[in-house]
A and B are shown apart, each in its own frame.
Chain A
């Protein structure tokens, strides 16, 4: 229901093309260079490559005035679903514009025009091997070294995700070691399968729903009550997208979702994690979209818009952004001796996307790389020596961009820094 385009007609109609969604929240604008926030709009400029353009196309598709053209598919699938437009729009207005874009992708798939071949390949990999890369399922727990001892049974299930399981072992290992250091009992599952984020973000809703049901069933059988993640994409998928496609609210799901930064923050404040080692480094923190502005719990609303768009029954508006995980990683990093935390001009709910989201890095590597390099310019502008994030996808994008740009900059996942000061 939540991804049916027709159910979002009021939202698509509500766009007044004020163009606020293309800019960072005005009161937070720090410079002309970093005043804009929509990657596709900054790069391609045409109004089609922006939320207002996609709203206009959504209306035209619903009214039968437009088919999915190559240019529309290009704009739609280059959108990283970073949600900056949605947060910005809801600064003043109410439309669920991100949901409209997601539903437009779902409609593209229904019409047989989407997803793109690279995304179909990912779906095939997931169906065959339970991971986006198409690597053997049996290798999923290969990241576990002898010094890592997950429990057989625990309340907390560490859902490692494809990226940390296959491509970024250092993040999975650091996460596990931090949990062990804070004496947090956790387990992992051999049955773990891709969370399905890329299926959702490319409009492959049916396949995504199957992944959701399969993973929820896995958790149910494991006896865990809490899912802990070190991946922002997975975090948002479990917390927001699973309930969304299953017609439930986050609060009513049979599990609780927590990101490792939330866990670490609690442990630091409790005194279970103490950092005695000093790291003399000027760093900046990159807010992953899916951990920050997109992680607000999902609320179900079904009803009608009546006179003046008044919702019946009354709707509690989700204000993507204000419930995001912003301060916890900053508090953790600031508590490390030697570290100087610098803020980028576009931070927290105004953060610029890394470029990896929604399968853009798979289908449009050049554009994704440009998006990441834009962020690195921002890092350099404030004199930071390292960028720290809390998502394997962001780390991956920044590492590749650092290499291709040939710049001297360290890239860390936050778990690596913490593990470093604990060891």
Chain B
């Protein structure tokens, strides 16, 4: 099957010849990719057409043409996740980067963004105005809009909450091409409010993974921003050694070393009760070693990581805390005093770290997680901190079973990025498998599946993802919604829920 010429012509009439292509090179450039390159994108295929709409109206028209010719379509922007790689024939790849309008409302503290606006674009403008948004750890190259309708998590979520809670008025092209306006946009020209009137469909944009383009295309969105501290943020250095110097009179970093995982969790809860800090997160040794070896190559990392693993004296767990004088320098002094008291109460030690940042205000370095080679494995959970203790035990048990082929993480703690003053948290387990051992990992995956071992939203072990009762039947509700909103199954099929497929031998396809 191929895309009919009339369909191509109809699409070309919408965007003009410059912004559409079915050249094989353009299509190949738009298929595989993303953080799980080579693992979950094994079965991706090039799209049939690459197209770049310039407005919400053009997105509507493209969507209607797709419906007329029953052609699947995928909305995408930076494409860092593999979720937007086509897995079915004749996909219209709708790259939304041309849509990059950005409008800041300083008085009411919200910003209107189109999908092509990155966090670096937004944050650089906000910092100049004494305002702030957060930046996800995947990097400030991510689309603000796409991130807010995906997990929407970022380190400053400790103070600022998860991204999807900050979604305001939204313009959403449904899978049939109709424009749905949510919040204040449904009855006003304003973007200041996210809810109602009537049934509030904004909830469909929220969640751990969002709908990943499976329920149409969000073309414009207003998101909440915050006032921020005065002071100068000074960039310094030449790549790869660049950093952002922070205003020390308003922001301070501390590394707090706690004697155990349990103490660390209690410590984070207590900080939440005290309502201090801008960011609170454990720093797994694996992350620390990755950061330290950036620029030195994978050989140096693996050498040092082995030395670390062979060192028996590694019991403590580090929690990194950024405190903030949001309203005044006095507040910073207060937060430091409270932090000291809480650290002492939980038997920890604290030390000040340099007032600089590479990961949170204008994120730059999380991508270094990939330099150490092999295939990248990330498992992410959102739950409470103390539930995380149990999850971590399970993950450690399962990962031990999988080592090798997985790299040895030496039983070290996972990342716990605590959000909303400790009311919830992201836990992330990182690991790696060498290219030559992907098959061995698949065999292990098969064994996990046969033994009904469920491990959550794995980016590599697809068939062990949780579905049905394991996942509160969330998947069933999403499938019902998909049938209502997208009866032709054209919007990034089969998203938003992708059940693993198996061949006759029971292997994951």
Q: Taking beta carbons and an 8 Å cutoff, which residues of A are in contact with B?
A: 13-20, 22-32, 35, 45-48, 50, 52-54, 56-57, 60, 65-67, 69-72, 75, 87-88, 90-94, 305, 307-311, 314-315, 317, 319, 321-322, 324, 326, 348-350
How far is the CB of A136 from the nearest CB of chain B, in Å? Answer: 41
Q: Smallest distance from the beta carbon of B296 to chain A beta carbons, Å?
A: 8
Whether the pair A92, B368 counts as a contact (CB closer than 8 A) is yes
Q: Closest B-chain residue to A30, C-beta based?
A: B124
Contact B97–A45 (Cβ < 8 Å): yes
Pick from B79, B122, B298 the residue with the most CB of A within 10 Å. Answer: B298
In the complex, are the beta carbons of A27 and B238 less than 8 A apart? Answer: no
- Decide: B374 and A20 in contact? CB cutoff 8 A: no
Are A16 and B35 in contact (CB-based, < 8 A)? yes
**Please, what's the 1-or-0 string for B201-236, where 1 marks a CB less than 8 Å from any CB in chain A?**
000000000000000000000000000000000011
Closest residue of chain B to A76 (Cβ to Cβ) is B25
- CB of A26 within 8 A of CB of B239, answer no
> In the complex the two chains form, is A16's CB within 8 Å of B33's CB?
yes
Q: Is B7 an interface residue (CB 8 A)?
A: no
B295 within 8 A of A: yes
For window 368-417 of chain B, which residues contact chain A by CB distance below 8 Å? 368, 370-374, 376, 407
Contact A23-B24, Cβ < 8 Å, known A18-B80, A309-B373: no
Measured CA separation A60–B23 after assembly (Å): 14
Instruction: Report the 5 A-B pairs with minimum CB-CB distance, sorted nearest first.
Output: A309-B373, A53-B29, A17-B33, A71-B23, A72-B25
Cβ contact within 8 Å between A18 and B368: no
B141 close to A23 (CB less than 8 A):
yes
* Least Cβ–Cβ distance between B3 and chain A, in angstroms: 16
Contact of A309 among B30, B95, B298 (CB under 8 A): B298
For the complex formed, measure the closest distance between the CB of B119 and the CB atoms of chain A, giving whole angstroms. Answer: 8
* Alpha-carbon separation in the docked complex, A29 to B361 (Å): 11
Separation in Å of the B125 CB from the closest CB of chain A? 5
Q: Is B472 an interface residue (CB 8 A)?
A: no
CB proximity of A249 to chain B, nearest CB, Å:
18
Q: In whole angstroms, how far apart are the Cα atoms of A60 and B25 in the complex? A: 9
B240 sits at the interface (CB 8 A): yes
Complex CA–CA separation, A310 to B434 (angstroms): 11
Complex interface: chain A residues within 8 A of B141 (CB): 18-20, 22-23, 26
**A315 and B373 alpha carbons, distance in the complex (Å):** 14
Least Cβ–Cβ distance between A246 and chain B, in angstroms: 25
Chain B residues within an 8 Å CB radius of A307 = 373-374, 434, 436
B98 lies within 8 A of chain A by Cβ: yes
B337 near A: Cβ within 8 Å? no
Mask: chain B, 88-121; 1 = CB below 8 Å from A; 0 = not = 0000000101100010000000000000011011
- Does B347 belong to the interface (CB within 8 Å)? no
Pairwise interchain contact B299-A311, C-beta atoms closer than 8 A:
yes
Q: List 29 A-B contacts (CB under 8 A).
A: A16-B34, A16-B35, A17-B32, A17-B33, A17-B80, A18-B35, A18-B367, A20-B139, A22-B141, A25-B239, A26-B364, A27-B361, A29-B123, A45-B97, A47-B50, A48-B25, A52-B29, A53-B25, A56-B28, A72-B23, A87-B239, A91-B364, A93-B367, A94-B298, A307-B436, A308-B373, A309-B372, A310-B299, A319-B240
Q: How far is the CA of A262 from the CA of B437 in the complex (A)?
A: 50
* Chain A residue at smallest Cβ distance from B375: A308
Q: Are A17 and B139 in contact (CB under 8 A)?
A: no
Q: Which of B124, B243, B357, B376 contacts A35 (CB 8 A)?
A: B124
Mark B residues whose CB is within 8 Å of A.
19, 21, 23-26, 28-35, 37-38, 50, 52, 78-80, 95, 97-98, 102, 117-118, 120-125, 128, 138-141, 235-236, 238-244, 294-299, 302, 357-358, 361-368, 370-374, 376, 407, 432, 434, 436
**Which residues in B have their C-beta under 8 angstroms from that of A32?**
102, 117, 121-122, 124-125
Number of interchain pairs (Cβ within 8 Å): 216
CB B397 to nearest CB in A, in angstroms, measures: 24
Q: Please tell me if the beta carbons of B29 and A48 are within 8 angstroms of each other in the complex.
A: yes
Residue pair B239, A18 in contact (C-beta under 8 Å): no
Within the assembled complex, what's the spacing in Å between the Cα atoms of A324 and B299?
Answer: 26
> In whole angstroms, how far apart are the Cα atoms of A19 and B76 in the complex?
13
Residues of B within 8 A of A57 (CB): 25, 28-29
A348 to B236, CA, bound (A): 11
Provide the residues of chain A in CB contact with B118, threshold 8 Å: 23, 35
Q: Are A47 and B367 neighbours in the complex by a CB distance under 8 Å?
A: no
Among A19, A50, A60, A314, the residue within 8 A (CB) of B299 is A314
Question: What's the minimum C-beta distance from B321 to chain A, rounded to whole angstroms?
Answer: 21
Query: A16 to B370, Cβ gap below 8 A?
Result: yes
Contacts of A26 in B (CB 8 A): 120, 139-141, 362-364
- Are B29 and A47 in contact, with the CB atoms below 8 A? yes
A16-B367, A17-B79, A27-B235 are contacts. A52–B33 as well, Cβ < 8 Å? yes
Chain A residue at smallest Cβ distance from B296: A317
| Residues of B contacting A29 in the complex (Cβ-Cβ under 8 angstroms) | 120-121, 123-124, 140, 362
**Smallest Cβ-Cβ distance to A350: which chain B residue:** B239
**Interface contact B139-A56, CB-CB below 8 Å:** no
- B238-A326 in contact (CB<8A): yes
- Residue in B79, B294, B302, B358 whose CB lies within 8 Å of A27: B358
Complex CA distance for A324 and B139, rounded to whole angstroms = 26
B295, closest chain A residue (CB): A319
CB A421 to nearest CB in B, in angstroms, measures 28
* Also in contact, A92 and B365, with CB within 8 A (given A27-B242, A47-B29): yes
Q: Assess whether B244 is in contact with A27, with CB atoms less than 8 Å apart.
A: yes
Residues of A within 8 A of B32 (CB): 17, 56
- Report whether B25 and A69 are in contact in the complex, using a CB–CB cutoff of 8 Å: yes
**CA–CA, A37 and B125, complex, Å:** 17
Q: Are A56 and B124 in contact (CB under 8 A)?
A: no
Q: Does the CB pair B125–A31 fall under 8 Å?
A: yes
Tell me whether A25 and B364 are in contact (CB under 8 A): yes
Q: How far does the Cβ of B464 sit from chain A's closest Cβ, in whole Å?
A: 23
B residues in contact with A92, CB < 8 Å: 240, 294, 364-368, 370-371
Complex Cα distance, B303 from A314, in Å, reads 12
Q: Are B297 and A311 in contact (CB under 8 A)?
A: yes
Complex Cα–Cα for A66 and B371 (A):
27
